[in-house]
């Protein structure tokens, strides 16, 4: 963290217009949905724009700013390197491992649509689909629609007769017989999937919340409608631990964290930190 010198920062500042352009292109390909890495890079760009390197700026950088600058240094570094390199060059320069779970230069994709998932979620969600065999998947936050399509394809691969309902303020624009895109604000989920409709949706359910900040309304609404064995998967939940924890305390014992999935690659290695929840009563 903060492993950079004044010279690194000066060089980065001189490359700022190039880096800004690269970032704009990346976001355009992602339909302007930033990953967490992108958000850090955007923060670092702002820090750099306002940074006066003639004074002692290191003292003034917050932890989050340092982390953001570290990320931008990597983004810049990877862009300046050729994709194909000799083994000798790589061994001589660095054998350490970097890990950017949502991708550094680009995000993941499914059938050429941008898929804003961490690589761990990308591995674990298909495993849940395979094991749970959900008849209904409710996704909050469609993005480009890639994730709904990806999950619908996994239903098909596993011969599951199921359907994906995917909600977004800005719904995806393509059609697929296994997906229903629903336009609306998930904070008012009761109007988007009314109770009468929800009662008809076959179980098991897999509810994937990827909209951030909608989890309170989503959990409160669906909890009484869920059956034993249904699952909730709250992505990017590291800032939502208190909300989820409070909810679980109020609904004593109605959900348990399924650590087989949360800890699959090591403790809480997925983005759904402590938040792959199985309804148990
Ligand atoms: C991180 S993206 C989803 C990415 C997608 N699930 C994927 O894996 O590629 C978050 C999405 O949530 C949507 N969103 C944010 N707040 C929302 C809300 N209150 N109700 C519905 N959708 C919302 C945004 O429009 C955005 O498309």
The string of pLDDT tens digits covering residues 102-119 is: 999 999 999 999 999 999
- Closest residue (by CA) to atom 13 of ligand 1? 141
Residue 19: Cβ within 10 Å count: 19
Measured CA to CA, the distance from residue 232 to residue 256 in angstroms comes to 10
Which ligand 1 atom lies nearest to the CA of residue 146?
Answer: 9
Cα-to-centroid distance, 9 and ligand 1 (Å): 34
Q: Which of 31, 39, 117, 143 to mutate to test the pocket of ligand 1 (most atoms within 8 A of CB)?
A: 143
Measured CA to CA, the distance from residue 6 to residue 9 in angstroms comes to 5
Measured CA to CA, the distance from residue 170 to residue 151 in angstroms comes to 19
Confidence of residue 85 (pLDDT cuts 50, 70, 90): confident
Residues with CB under 6 A from ligand 1: 33, 115-117, 141-143, 146-147, 167-170, 185-187, 210-211, 214
Q: In a 3-state reduction of DSSP, which class is residue 175?
A: coil
What DSSP character marks residue 255? E
Q: Tell me if 74 sits within 8 A of 8, measured CB to CB.
A: no
Q: To which CATH superfamily is domain 110-279 assigned? A: Vaccinia Virus protein VP39 (3.40.50.150)
Measured CA to CA, the distance from residue 189 to residue 20 in angstroms comes to 37
- Model confidence, pTM: 0.89
Residue 121: Cβ within 10 Å count: 26
Cα-to-centroid distance, 218 and ligand 1 (Å): 13
Confidence of residue 17 (pLDDT cuts 50, 70, 90): very high
Measured CA to CA, the distance from residue 25 to residue 135 in angstroms comes to 38
Residue 78 or 156, more confident: 156
Mean pLDDT score, 88-110: 81
CA distances from 100 to 93, 181, 232, 239 (A): 19, 30, 25, 18
pLDDT of residue 268: 95
Both tokens assigned to 102: 């949502």
Which residue ranges make up each domain of the chain?
A: 6-95, 110-279
* pLDDT (tens digit per residue) in 201-252: 999 999 999 998 889 899 999 999 999 999 999 999 988 999 998 888 787 7
């Amino acid at each position: 963290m903060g492993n950079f010198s004044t010279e690194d920062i000066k060089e980065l500042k001189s490359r700022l217009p190039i880096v800004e352009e690269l970032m704009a292109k990346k976001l355009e390909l992602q339909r302007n949905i930033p990953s967490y890495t992108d958000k850090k890079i955007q923060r670092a760009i702002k820090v750099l724009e306002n940074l006066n390197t003639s004074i002692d700026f290191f003292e003034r950088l917050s932890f989050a700013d340092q982390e953001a600058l570290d990320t931008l240094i990597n983004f810049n570094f990877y862009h300046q390197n050729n994709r194909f390199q000799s083994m000798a060059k790589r061994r001589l320069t660095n054998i350490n491992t970097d890990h950017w779970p949502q991708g550094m230069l680009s995000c993941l994709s499914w059938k050429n649509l941008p898929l804003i998932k961490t690589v761990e979620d990308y591995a674990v969600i298909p495993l849940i689909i395979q094991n749970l065999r959900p008849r209904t998947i409710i996704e909050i936050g469609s993005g480009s629609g890639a994730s709904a399509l990806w999950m619908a394809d996994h239903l098909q691969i596993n011969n599951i007769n199921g359907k994906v309902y995917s909600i977004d303020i800005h719904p995806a624009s393509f059609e697929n017989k296994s997906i229903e895109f629903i336009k609306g604000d998930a904070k008012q989920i009761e109007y988007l999937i009314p109770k009468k409709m929800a009662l008809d949706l076959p179980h098991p359910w897999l509810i994937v919340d990827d909209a951030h900040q909608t989890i309170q309304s989503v959990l409160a609404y669906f909890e009484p409608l869920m059956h034993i064995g249904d699952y909730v998967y709250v992505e990017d939940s590291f800032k939502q631990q208190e909300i989820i924890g409070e909810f679980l305390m109020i609904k004593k014992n109605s959900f348990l964290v399924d650590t087989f999935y949360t800890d699959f690659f090591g403790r809480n290695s997925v983005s759904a930190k402590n938040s792959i929840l199985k309804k148990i009563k």
